[in-house]
Copies of this chain bind each other. A is one copy, B any other.
């Protein structure tokens, strides 16, 4: 693909066809929160394409406040896993009876096998963007990072890779464990790799935890 990309024959590169829109719909539909990974590594070129996709994500005032740390050190990975286990045990106390059994049965993280693991942070006060668009709602910074994570997620799906978000972690512990710079707030821990199976029914549906309900748009 050249620097401007190629659209269908005779169209400007910014024009999309119904087939392009259907491809996107299919990628959106088959995105999964993957927690079961094979251990084989991700091809280096595919990973580079994912990094470059993430660079296209939107951000408030073009501030690009996300910072990514790829966690490779086995000792650090073990520390993250221990932190997850601690937080997950704590979260399990919310439930009782059959719901507790359901909770315990859910596999909520692929930390034991995912070949690529990324800790994602958000800058609390980035110089870039010069504050534009975030004065009334500072949380637009974290929302920008959420969109960057979603961008990576879709790009992974389109490469037949799976991504799962781990949010059952103490954000302060994740700042301390990875010794990140001051002003970096922890946002999410991502597991990335080849999915162990094609998850045509999302895990939370399959396990009966939560079906999908759609809420119609209201009008005023």
Interface of A with B (CB < 8 Å)? 1, 4-7, 12-16, 20-31, 33, 49, 51, 53, 55-58, 60-64, 66-73, 76, 87, 90-91, 94-95, 99, 103, 106, 108, 118, 128-137, 139-140, 142-147, 149-151, 153-155, 157-160, 165, 167-171, 178, 187-188, 198, 200, 202, 204-205, 209-215, 217-220
Contacts of A53 in B (CB 8 A): 24-25, 28
A155-B62 contact given A68-B218, A91-B135, CB 8 Å threshold = no
**Interface pair A33/B55, CB less than 8 Å apart:** no
A220-B70 contact given A16-B159, A24-B24, A29-B5, CB 8 Å threshold = yes
A213-B167 contact given A143-B142, A220-B71, CB 8 Å threshold = no
A178-B210 contact given A24-B158, A136-B87, A204-B61, CB 8 Å threshold = no
For this chain, the copies found in one complex come to: 2
**Interface pair A217/B69, CB less than 8 Å apart:** yes
Contacts of A204 in B (CB 8 A): 61-62, 132
